[in-house]
Copies of this chain bind each other. A is one copy, B any other.
Amino acid sequence: MAGATIRDVARRAEVSVASVSRALNNLANVHPDTRARVLAAAKELGYVPHAGARSLSLARTHAIGVVLPDLHGEFFSELVRGLDREASARGYHLLLSNIHADHDHATKALRTMHGRVDGLVVMAPYAGSVAIEDLLPPTLPTVMINTPRAHDGVSLRIDNRAGAEAMARHLAALGRKRIVHITGPDGNTDAQERLDGFRAALPKDIDLVVVLGDFTEPSGEAAIARLHDDGVAFDAVFAGNDLMAVGVLRALHQTGRAVPQDVAVCGFDDVPLAGYLSLTTIRVHMTAVGARAAARLIDALEGCDTGAADEWITPELVVRATTVTES
């Protein structure tokens, strides 16, 4: 018997809808007999509360909206897993909305969140998507992930600078003197911060060559090929992300240079592939970021407002065989 409503239950249990509601929500002040009759009736009817109606009258949906760009698989799934873990542990659902390039579509998707979710977790790493902030229903509590611009809600930031600095120190400690950095695409905040941090932490006696990449593997490969053709010498490459580092490894292999003896190679992110290739990198624990984002949002929703508006997640240096030889 599908679609049974609270009134059906009330009729069958021969009580009022109010009693049914109270019994089903474990409120006090319900006679045990009444409660039993209600429970029985509900079970017999296969009654399932209508969550939509419930939210409407409670003004509470127990759902959080997740707005993500169309990003790389690894990140996406890890982030969502972290969000989901925390959310479901605290009784919340996730309403997903990937934002593609299409502006109108995005606007509509965002507006449609109003009245379906209690708050939003938004990730928008590209400076170009600035508008997103303005599209958000301003009434919804929001946690931003990695969004540079100031806003009124909570913001979780990955400390790209700290990660890049750690890498700079690592390479410096290894005695590398002519280092190439391949950047991410223009306008990408992560890319910019990684470059800034790296440059800032590099001792003055080390040469830094910066070349433009776009976070894809081919761009890493092409960058090295170009340097090779130009006869540029270097003994280390810090790629703006792991994918490009993979391209770098490939290019170096083709030109017959030994890693790490001739050239040390490292990336950023620690995607699963990095482990297989023994790539030295900076680990960004996206599962933790997701869990933290959900936790902060739910805290805010439930009134227990913890911590600072800006929270930084520090990534971790993972040293593997592309920068140091095992011994």
In the complex, A272 has a CB within 8 A of chain B: yes
Q: How far is the CB of A134 from chain B (nearest CB, A)?
A: 11
In the complex, A7 has a CB within 8 A of chain B: no
Is the Cβ of B115 less than 8 Å from the Cβ of A51? yes
Please pick, from B84, B100, B276, the residue contacting A96 in the complex, using a CB distance under 8 A.
Answer: B84
Digitize A36-59: 1 where CB-to-B-CB distance is under 8 Å, 0 elsewhere.
000000000010111111111000
Binds B, one of A71-79, A143-151, A303-311: A71-79
Please pick, from B61, B273, B276, the residue contacting A52 in the complex, using a CB distance under 8 A.
Answer: B61
A115: B residues at CB distance < 8 A: 49-54
Q: How far is the CB of A199 from chain B (nearest CB, A)?
A: 31
A320: B residues at CB distance < 8 A: none
A138: B residues at CB distance < 8 A: 2, 46
Q: How far is the CB of A216 from chain B (nearest CB, A)?
A: 13
Is the Cβ of A93 less than 8 Å from the Cβ of B116? yes
Interface size class for chain A?
35 or more
Most buried by B among A49, A51, A70: A51
Binds B, one of A106-114, A169-177, A229-237: A106-114
In the complex, A157 has a CB within 8 A of chain B: no
Is the Cβ of B52 less than 8 Å from the Cβ of A52? yes
Is the Cβ of B73 less than 8 Å from the Cβ of A113? no
Is the Cβ of A109 less than 8 Å from the Cβ of B88? yes
- A89 nearest CB neighbor, chain B only: B105
Is the Cβ of A49 less than 8 Å from the Cβ of B114? yes
- A91 nearest CB neighbor, chain B only: B108
Q: How far is the CB of A205 from chain B (nearest CB, A)?
A: 36
A93, B96: Cα distance in complex, Å: 6
A73, B81: Cα distance in complex, Å: 9
In the complex, A98 has a CB within 8 A of chain B: yes
In the complex, A80 has a CB within 8 A of chain B: yes
- A137 nearest CB neighbor, chain B only: B48
A260, B55: Cα distance in complex, Å: 60
A138, B74: Cα distance in complex, Å: 34
Is the Cβ of B3 less than 8 Å from the Cβ of A139? yes
- A93 nearest CB neighbor, chain B only: B95
A80, B98: Cα distance in complex, Å: 10
- A65 nearest CB neighbor, chain B only: B93
**CB within 8 Å for A80 and B96 given contacts A2-B138, A273-B276:** yes
4 new A-B contacts at CB < 8 Å, known A2-B138, A77-B80: A51-B113, A51-B116, A52-B55, A54-B115
User: Top 7 nearest A-B pairs by Cβ distance?
Assistant: A2-B139, A77-B77, A50-B115, A52-B115, A94-B96, A51-B115, A48-B114
Task: Sample 30 A-B pairs with CB under 8 A, ordered by A number.
Answer: A2-B138, A3-B139, A48-B137, A50-B115, A51-B112, A51-B114, A51-B115, A52-B52, A52-B56, A52-B61, A52-B116, A54-B115, A56-B56, A62-B112, A73-B78, A76-B77, A76-B81, A77-B80, A80-B96, A84-B98, A88-B97, A88-B98, A88-B105, A88-B109, A93-B97, A93-B109, A93-B116, A246-B276, A273-B276, A276-B277
